[in-house]
Amino acid sequence: MTTSGTADDGLRLIPFHGLRYVPERVGSLAAVTSPPYDVVVRPDGVDHLESADPHNIVRLILPQAGTPAERNEQAAHTLRDWLSKGVLSADPEPALYVYEQRKGGVLQRGLIGALALSKPDAGIVLPHEDVMPDVVTDRAGLMRAASANLEPLLLTYLGGDPAAGATAVVERTAARPPLLATTTEDGFRHRLWAITDPADLAAVTADLGHRQALIADGHHRWATYLRLQEEHQSPTDWDFGLVLLVDTARYPLQVRAIHRMLRRLPVADALAAVTGHFLVRPVDGPLPLALEALGDAAERGNAFLLAGDGTFHLVTDPDLDLLERTVRHDRPEAWRRLDATVLHATLLDALWQIPDTPDQITYIHDAAATVAMAERHGGTAVLLHPVREEVVRNLARQGVTMPRKSTSFGPKPATGLVLRSLD
């Protein structure tokens, strides 16, 4: 995924003074980290993380208060307090950071830096999903109040010769002792290094300047970056945003689905509305077995697994005339066949008539958590099968965005290892 032309055509990743936890001021680095804000299952996940350490980063990315304004001010106050007390401290030299995640056979390395912002039509940073305006507004309020990038987005690019350019710098740096190393409760070991050598920084700049990236995770935060950039007169620090760039040619990402929990639709009502329009059949549990059945069915066409009543129901084979009536025609056929497209256009809009609002639909990355929440609320869990990465990339190259929350790329960077101040 490269472009030809000058360095101005591609990615521009610059060093910054990373804000990092001072190990002596916290219980442990693992105890102050968090998954990205949209992966934390609220409120249980927030409560768990807050109790892990009084300085857990979740107090910044998901502050708890009565109103959005109060939440944002609370996060800003907390950040200022931690800086003044030496809980967080800025690194003395601006740096790019090599970040590594390892668990079992999974190894991922990439570069954390401040990336120059660009609009989608520039063809430098490619989004592949639509965003929800209310989420962008929420993140913008938080980022504006804190005057900081609190967690890196995950972007991928296709590198060239692994023995040259940015990838070679990453590998060479990772052979040195790290700035920090910690293992989080999910079993992932995290390590971080700083790149400050001018020759290494120049090699990264020269290599990335001819490449483009795909947003793997963080569409709402990227849209937030762009909104906040428009609010500030250039050139300013708001012209850049904190990202993790991974060479997916060397470190392929895993792609998972993001599931939906329909808060106000009981399973019986959901099934009644689709019967006659889709093929509906029960499948055996437990959940891993039911997900295998979903995967098998997804190889043949659109397939969804519904749960929430203690059993599992496979929904497949949509009526073709119904798809013709409900799915828009001004998009490529690959987009029209996506499970997420059919879910939103045909099931949610046409048959279930459920608006895509936070009080109606909760997006959850973990299948078991989705089912558990549906059972607890008397709602319906809609489980999806992952989209292949090449489908995502091909649609992004065409400038076509997928329905919101269509994919979950990973492993995702841990939040709290390095932050970026905009003051």
Q: Per-residue pLDDT tens for 92-125?
A: 999 999 999 999 999 999 999 999 999 988 989 9
**Pairwise CA distance, residues 1 & 10, whole Å:** 11
Identify the CA nearest to 393 among candidates 210, 207, 157: 157
pTM equals: 0.81
**Partners of residue 305 on adjacent β-strands:** 314, 383
**Residue with tokens 């990465």, as numbered in its chain:** 389
Per-residue model confidence as pLDDT tens digits over 295-338: 999 999 999 999 999 999 999 999 999 999 999 999 999 999 99
**What's the chain's average pLDDT?**
93
Residues of the chain above pLDDT 70, percent:
98
Average pLDDT of span 202-220: 94
Question: Over 90: is that where the pLDDT of 420 sits?
Answer: yes
Given a contact cutoff of 8 angstroms between Cβ atoms, the answer to whether 101 and 190 are in contact is: yes
What is the C-alpha separation between 276 and 296, in angstroms, rounded?
22
- Among 233-237, 254-258, 259-263, name the most confident range: 259-263
Region 277-290: mean pLDDT is: 97
Question: Residues 352-392: pLDDT tens digits?
Answer: 999 999 899 999 989 999 999 999 999 999 999 998 877 88
- Predicted local confidence at residue 42, as pLDDT: 67
Is the C-alpha dihedral spanning 384, 385, 389, 393 positive or negative? negative
Residue 394 three-state SS: helix
Question: Please, which pLDDT band fits residue 8 given cuts at 50, 70 and 90?
Answer: low
3-state class of 158 per DSSP? coil
With beta carbons less than 8 A apart as the criterion, state whether 385 and 407 touch.
no
Which parts of 282-379 fold into alpha helices (H)?
A: 287-298, 320-326, 333-336, 339-342, 367-377
Per-residue pLDDT tens over the stretch 401-415: 888 788 888 899 999
